[in-house]
Structures are given as C-alpha cells and as structure tokens.
C-alpha cells in the first residue's frame, strides 16, 4: 500500500509557521491530529531533519514546536491536496485562536492571622476545614478486554468533546486526552504495558515545558483502569472542606465540582495545566502553593481573590471573609444584572463602555453583555486562511454594522506576531518593527484598498450606524494622510458617499505622542492600543517568553495622560489595560471617557467605574 501510494501520488508539501506564543501544544495538536486522521493520505510533519507521523499526538509533541518555528507538512495519497489545504486552514485558525492566559489581578484583603501566599488559579473565597487528598479503590466486575476498555474510554472522551463543544477549552481537553490515549494504545497490548509506557512518558516530561501534561497521562491510565473495573474514587467528607493535594487529575475536577469541596490548594500544577483550566471553568477558589505548613482538619480561610491562605483565623478574620464572600457573589450578580445600565462614576460622570470584537459571534456576545457600541473590530478574522473576496468582506461588515449604531473597524493589522499565509512579507530581523498595520500600504496596497472598498459598500446599507475607520500602527502623519487620500480615491472611483465615515488612528507607536498637534488637525478620533504602546515604550516584545512588561507602570499612565491632555478629538482606550481593575480608577482620574473591553469584561468594568 505504501509503495502503491508513492508510485502513483506525488507528495505535496507546505511550510507552516507556529505563531501562537504558547507554541504548538497538546490541545491544538490534538485537534490537528483529529482532522489529519480523516484523510487517507500519508501525512507527515518535518522539522529539523526529523519526520514524524502527523496522525498521532505524541510524535508531533516530540518535536517541541515552539513560537516562530516553521515546519513542513507533507501529504501523499489520493486526498493529499485536500488534506494539505484543510490542515493549513485549521492550523492557522488554531494559532490565531490560541489565547494567552489572562493575567489574574490580586485583591489586597488584610487579615489578623498568619497568611501564606500562593498563585491564583481561580479567584473566590472559601472558609472550611482542610482535608488531605485521599482515594479509595472500588473494584467492580470486569467483562472488558484491555482493547475494549481503551476503545470505551476513547469513545467516552470523544463524546464528552462533542457534547461540551460550547465550552471550547473544556472540550479541547477531552479531545487532547482522547488523542493521547489513541497514540499510547498503538504501542500497548495490555494494561501493564500501558502503565509502563505512561510512566516512561511521564519521566520524559520531567523538567520540560510540557510537564503540565503529567496529570493527563495519569488521568488517561486511570480512566482505562476504571473501564476495566478498577475505579479510584476521591474520599470526601460530607462537611465542607478545602482540599489539599499534590495535584489533581483533570477528571477529578468533575468529581469535586458538585461536592463538599469549597476550595483547592495544589502543590504541583501549573496555571496552564488542564487541571487548572477545569478548576477555573468550574469556578472553584484555588491556589498553587506549598501546602507543607498548612495544618490538616482545621478551619482556614482560602482567600484566592487575594492569593492567600489564613491560618488559625480569629472571629474577626472569619467575619471579614464571610462578608467578602457575600460581597463577591452579590457584586458578581449585581454587576451582571446592571450590565445594560450606564457606567456612572460616584460624581455622576458617564464613561462609555464599548466592546472589542473579532468576528460576527463576538459581536452578538457584545450585544448580550451590554456594550454601547464596538470600539475595536479586529478585522483580521476574515483574512486568516485565504484572502477574502470583496463580497465575503462586505457581507461580514454589514452584519456587524447592523448589530450596533456605533462601530469602529480597524483595517487589517498584520505583521509582527500576526502573519498571514498568503501575504509574503520578506524576512525581517525585527518583525514588530517592520511591515505592520498601516505600513502594508507600502507593500500590499491592493489588499487594504479592497478592504476599504468593502467597508464603504457595507456602510451604504447600514445608514443608521456611525462607522469609524481606524488605522493601526501609525507612526507618522504622512502614513495617515496617504491612507485617507487612498480611501477617498476609492470612494470617488466607486461613487460612494463616505462623508459620514470618520477616520482615526490607533495610538500604539510612541512617536504619535509627539505629533499630537498635527494629528489633531487631521484625525476624527484616537484609540490607545496599550498592548502595543507598552511594548514600544519599553522595547519589550509583547510575546517575549521571559521579559515581562509592567502594565501598571507609571510610564504608561503618563503616556496616556499626555495623549488625553493634548488631544482635541475623542480618545478611547482599547488595549487590555482598559479592563484592568487596578488601572480603571487611574484612567478615569486621568480623564479617559471611553473604554473598549472584551465582551466578558463589560459588566465588571462598569461596576468598577460605579465605585470611582
Ligand atoms: C493594542 O495594541 O492595544 C490593541 C488593542 O491591538 P492588538 O492587541 O490587536 O494589537
Ligand atoms: Mg495593537
């Protein structure tokens, strides 16, 4: 068969670039493999002289594909072309959708009792007695062979993936475990062999950046054992408890989510582990910390909102924690109930809250979550895999324009960390300082011109919507005037009236701060992109693996203050800083009147403003 394929079908190949700052890790790899398996062709991945089968997760993971690595995908067989095309589109989508973990902001609640600090997995407060992790073995009758047990477990994980699809991260975890199991199964004939192989894999993961997968391996093994009648159950008491463990298996989070467990303290997990993701999704207050000093079977306070555990809390501490607990839950519910109400400061000043959206679905969510309008439409979603036609673009813009009566659309912002497969930007030593955003007019003008044309066409049917076009990565006055001239030329050519459309810029490059007088004369509005502005202010790449930008640095607030003071046109903020609870009061005091935040942060942002 192999010979047959190689004789009759020409091998096809394509280079793919890992653009996600998380690398090509287990969850996206599992989705990639899941799709690769639907093709009959032989599919391989080549990287640094190693060639591996693209239909098993383990082999791909063994390549340790990280950010900026380029690998070659090859396919040979009847459906080679189709497989290459589909996998390319899927891979790019996986890279674009692979979100970085949001930074969790610590509250600063103070207690009388001794406190120990930890890293927050999931915020929240629990007051209960501590319980050490214990399990019990439950033996049941077994009528399955090893292979049947593996198939049953694999099918169950697939079913969970398919039913959980609405909660993507959870769903991806089940698929990742299924694909891991399938690749282990290929090499094991008995449960003992599977156990040995699992131990080998766990050993190999030690001290690597994939060590968070250890609990998945253990989990898979245990799930097969359970199918064989050897179930291990968590031993929990009826009383409310805070569970102390070295680590938990992802499947154990399901066991504790509707139990007496009020909080969890784990010694050995990471923020990105599947256990941590599931704890967050279940809303269980939890920390990563050394649990050695925590007494067992004694009441403690787990204030995961402040990232501390309070040992031997006195009456006042307990009362304080109860009040905080009640306030947190009331605030959460109240804030959500009031999401459609305006955000007025204590002085009665109205702050407008807009949404950052990245496609039609997130636009609907923004509506549901109480956005006043769209402050940033990241238009890249249409351009991810293939160049969209004029019609595709026009239809999508129309749908989004119709949803709100105030929409700011940002023109294509590629370059830097956002590469497009069909746009050939010559290699750059510093892509973040290269052809990015508005600079694309210099190298690929047609793509931006066509986008402007599509926006203008869409604007004609959404006459009640205020449409604002925003150019990203502007660093000089000339770039903006040239872009605006091109826009007018396109409108004239197609006889479209664009007098109602506003044109503005994102402030992301520090040079703009010193050109405000000139920009004031030509732009209709500004939006501060703090994500990029901070990377350019500090000369620290926003995706840098070890260097971190201090997002709350006074430098950033001074820059914003300078912009607000100099601007004679409306200013909004659309970077992540706009939804940072510690930053919001400072931004309001500086005089910022409009914030644009992710849909899910709208209710909380409004509530914080109501207390400023
Ligand atoms: C920003 O830079 O702050 C911004 C909102 O744009 P993006 O994160 O899409 O680069
Ligand atoms: Mg930006």
- Residue pair 556/531 in contact (Cβ under 8 Å)? The answer is no
281, pLDDT greater than 90: no
Confidence band for 6, pLDDT divided at 50, 70 and 90: low
Please give the average per-residue pLDDT across 502-518, as a whole number.
98
State how far the Cα of 49 lies from the Cα of 357, in Å rounded to an integer: 41
Structure tokens at 565: 């003071």
Q: What is the number of the ligand 1 atom nearest to the C-alpha of 378?
A: 9
| Distance (Å) from CA 511 to ligand 1 centroid | 17
pLDDT top residue among 192 and 96: 192
What is the reported pLDDT for 547? Answer: 81
Query: Which-ligand-closest: CA of 354?
Result: 1
Residues 455, 469 contacting (CB under 8 angstroms): yes
- Region 143-169: mean pLDDT is 85
Q: Indicate which ligand has the atom closest to the C-alpha of 472.
A: 2
Pocket test for ligand 1, best of 410, 506, 577, 578 (most atoms within 8 A of CB): 506
Q: In which band, very low, low, confident or very high, does the pLDDT at 166 lie, cut at 50, 70 and 90?
A: low
Options 3.30.70.20, 3.40.120.10, 3.20.20.60, 3.50.30.60; which CATH number does 338-609 get? 3.20.20.60
The closest of 506, 521, 552 to 375, measured between CA atoms, is 506
User: Which DSSP letter does residue 568 get?
Assistant: S
Ligand 1: residues with CB < 6 A are: 376, 378, 413, 508, 529-532, 574-575
Confidence of residue 401 (pLDDT cuts 50, 70, 90): very high
- Does residue 101 carry a pLDDT above 70? no
Residue nearest to atom 6 of ligand 1 (CA): 529
Q: Whose CA is nearest to atom 9 of ligand 1?
A: 378
The CA-to-CA distance between both ends of the chain, in Å, stands at 71
- For residue 227, the CA-to-ligand 2 centroid distance in Å is 49
- pLDDT for residue 537: 97
Q: Tell me the H-state helices in 50-103.
A: 57-61, 80-97
**Residue of 374, 512, 574 to mutate, ligand 1, most atoms within 8 A of C-beta:** 574
Average pLDDT over residues 378-403: 91
Residue 239 gets the label, from left (phi > 0), alpha (psi -120 to 50) or beta, of: beta
Q: How far is the CA of 531 from the centre of ligand 1 (A)?
A: 5
The domains of the chain are located at: 2-97, 114-134+235-336, 136-233, 338-609
Q: Is the pLDDT of residue 386 over 90?
A: no
Segment 392-399 mean pLDDT: 96
241, 259, 234: which is closest to 298 by C-alpha?
Answer: 241
- Which run of H or E residues covers position 611? none
How far is ligand 1, taken at its centre, from the CA of residue 102, in Å? 14
Where residue 605 falls among pLDDT bands split at 50, 70, 90?
Answer: very high
Identify the residue with better confidence: 34 or 423.
34
Q: How far apart are CA 354 and CA 523, in angstroms?
A: 20
Looking at ligand 1, which residue's alpha carbon is closest to its atom 3? 529
Nearest-atom number in ligand 1 for the CA of 528 is 3
Q: Specify the pLDDT at position 417.
A: 63
For residue 418, the model assigns a pLDDT of 67
- CA atoms within 13 A of residue 257's CA, in its CB half-sphere: 15
Q: Is the pLDDT of residue 416 over 80?
A: no
Please report which ligand is nearest the Cα atom of 528. 1
Q: What local confidence, expressed as pLDDT, does residue 102 receive?
A: 63
- Atom from ligand 1 closest to the CA of residue 472: 6
- Predicted confidence at residue 549, as pLDDT, reads 85
Amino acid 68: pLDDT? 87
pLDDT band at 4 (very low <50, low <70, confident <90, very high): low
- Model-level pTM? 0.60
Where is mean pLDDT largest: 251-255, 570-574, 601-605?
Answer: 570-574
d(CA 473, CA 28): 30
Instruction: Tell me which of 355, 556, 575 to substitute to probe ligand 1's pocket, judged by most ligand atoms within 8 Å of the beta carbon.
Output: 575
* Domain 114-134+235-336, CATH number (from 3.30.450.40, 1.10.357.10, 3.50.30.10, 3.40.718.10): 3.50.30.10
Rounded CA separation 83/89 (Å): 10
Burial of 67 (0-12, 13-18, 19+ CB in 10 A): middle
Question: What residues have CB less than 8 Å from 137, skipping those under 6 apart?
Answer: 230, 231, 232, 233
Mean pLDDT, to the nearest integer, of 575-592? 93
Find the length of the chain: 612
For residue 591, how many other CB atoms are within 10 A of its CB?
Answer: 13
Q: Which residues, 6+ apart, have CB-to-CB distance to 107 below 8 Å?
A: 123, 303, 305, 306
> Ligand 1 mean position to 235 CA, how many Å?
47
In this structure, what are the phi and psi dihedrals at residue 521, rounded to the nearest 5 degrees?
A: -80, -20
Give 29-59 pLDDT, tens digit per residue: 999 999 999 999 999 999 999 999 999 998 9
Least confident of 51-60, 196-205, 328-337, 535-544: 328-337
Task: Give the nearest ligand 1 atom to 532 CA.
Answer: 2
Return the pLDDT at 273: 87
- Nearest residue (by CA) to ligand 1, atom 4, is 529
In this predicted structure, the answer to whether residue 111 has a pLDDT above a threshold of 60 is yes
pLDDT score of 299: 95
Q: Which residues are catalytic?
A: 25
- The whole-angstrom separation of Cα 224 and Cα 220 is 6
609 closest CA partner among 416, 338, 400, 418: 338
Question: In the predicted model, is pLDDT for residue 212 greater than 80?
Answer: no
How far, in Å, from the CA of 594 to the mean position of ligand 1? 16
How many Cα atoms within 13 Å fall on the side-chain side of residue 351?
33
Q: Which atom of ligand 1 is nearest to the CA of 376?
A: 5
How many whole angstroms separate alpha carbon 535 and alpha carbon 532?
Answer: 5
What is the pLDDT averaged over residues 497-512?
A: 97
Rounded CA-CA distance 568/449 in Å is 29
- Write the residue with the smallest CA distance to atom 1 of ligand 1: 529
Mean pLDDT of 288-314: 94
Instruction: Indicate the average pLDDT of the chain.
Output: 91
Task: Give the per-residue pLDDT at 412.
Answer: 96
Report residue 536 as tokens. 């350019």
85 alpha carbon – ligand 2 mean position (Å): 29
> Which ligand does the CA of 417 lie closest to?
1
Q: What is the pLDDT of residue 229?
A: 92
Q: Which atom of ligand 1 is nearest to the CA of 527?
A: 5
Does the pLDDT value for residue 349 go beyond 70? Answer: yes
If 0-12 CB within 10 Å is exposed, 13-18 middle and 19+ buried, where does residue 463 land?
Answer: exposed
- Class of CATH domain 2-97: alpha beta
DSSP type of residue 9: S
Share of the chain above pLDDT 70, in %: 96
């Amino acid at each position: 068969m192999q010979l047959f394929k190689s004789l009759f079908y020409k091998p096809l190949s394509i280079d793919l670039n890992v653009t996600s700052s998380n690398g090509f890790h287990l969850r996206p790899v599992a989705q990639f493999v899941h799709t690769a398996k639907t093709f009959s062709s032989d599919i391989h991945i080549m990287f640094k002289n190693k060639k591996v089968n693209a239909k098993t997760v383990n082999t791909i993971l063994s390549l340790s594909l990280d950010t900026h690595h380029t690998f070659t995908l090859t396919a040979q067989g009847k459906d080679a072309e189709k497989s290459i095309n589909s996998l390319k589109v899927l891979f790019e989508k996986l890279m674009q959708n692979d979100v970085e973990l949001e930074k969790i902001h610590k509250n600063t609640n103070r207690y009388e009792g001794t406190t120990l600090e930890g890293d927050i997995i999931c915020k929240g407060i629990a007051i209960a007695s501590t319980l050490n992790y214990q399990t019990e073995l439950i033996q049941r009758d077994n009528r399955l062979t090893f292979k049947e047990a593996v198939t049953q477990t694999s099918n169950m994980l697939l079913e969970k993936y398919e039913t959980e699809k609405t909660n993507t991260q959870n769903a991806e975890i089940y698929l990742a475990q299924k694909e891991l199991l399938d690749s282990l199964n290929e090499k094991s004939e008995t449960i003992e062999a599977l156990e040995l192989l699992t131990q080998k894999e766990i050993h190999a993961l030690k001290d690597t950046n994939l060590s968070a997968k250890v609990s998945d391996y253990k989990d898979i093994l245990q799930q097969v054992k359970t199918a064989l009648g050897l179930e291990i159950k968590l031993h929990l008491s009826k009383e409310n408890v805070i569970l102390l463990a070295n680590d938990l298996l992802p499947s154990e989070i399901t066991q504790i989510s509707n139990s007496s467990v009020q909080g969890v303290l784990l010694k050995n997990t990471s923020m990105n582990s599947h256990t941590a993701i599931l704890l967050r999704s279940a809303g269980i207050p939890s920390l990563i910390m050394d649990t050695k000093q925590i007494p067992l079977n004694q009441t403690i306070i787990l204030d995961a909102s402040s990232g501390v555990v309070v040992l031997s809390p006195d009456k006042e501490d307990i009362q304080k924690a109860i009040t905080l607990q009640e306030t947190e839950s009331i605030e959460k519910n109240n804030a959500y109930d009031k999401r459609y109400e305006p955000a007025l400061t204590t002085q009665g000043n109205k702050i407008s809250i807009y949404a950052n959206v990245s496609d039609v679905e997130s636009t609907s969510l923004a509506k549901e979550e109480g956005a006043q309008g769209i402050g940033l439409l990241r238009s890249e979603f249409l351009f991810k895999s293939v160049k969209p036609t004029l019609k595709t673009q026009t239809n999508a813009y129309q749908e989004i324009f119709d949803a709100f009566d105030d929409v700011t659309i940002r023109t294509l912002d590629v370059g830097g960390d956002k590469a497009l497969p069909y746009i050939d930007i010559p290699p750059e030593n510093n892509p973040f300082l290269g052809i990015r955003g508005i600079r694309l007019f210099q190298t690929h003008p047609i793509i931006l011109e066509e986008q402007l044309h599509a926006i203008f066409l869409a604007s004609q049917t959404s006459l009640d919507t205020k449409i604002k076009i925003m150019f990203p990565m502007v660093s000089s006055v000339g770039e903006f005037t040239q872009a605006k001239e091109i826009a007018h030329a396109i409108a004239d050519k197609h006889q479209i009236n664009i007098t109602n459309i506003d044109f503005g810029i994102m402030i992301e490059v520090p040079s703009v701060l010193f050109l405000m007088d000139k920009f004031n004369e030509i732009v209709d509005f500004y939006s501060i992109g703090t994500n990029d502005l901070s990377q350019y202010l500090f000369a620290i790449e926003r995706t840098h693996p070890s260097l971190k930008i201090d997002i709350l640095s006074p430098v950033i607030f001074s820059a914003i203050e300078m912009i607000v003071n100099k601007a004679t046109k409306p200013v909004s903020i659309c970077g992540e800083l706009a939804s940072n609870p510690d930053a919001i009061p400072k931004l309001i005091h500086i005089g910022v009147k409009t914030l644009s935040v992710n849909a899910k942060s709208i209710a909380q942002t409004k509530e914080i403003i109501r207390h400023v």
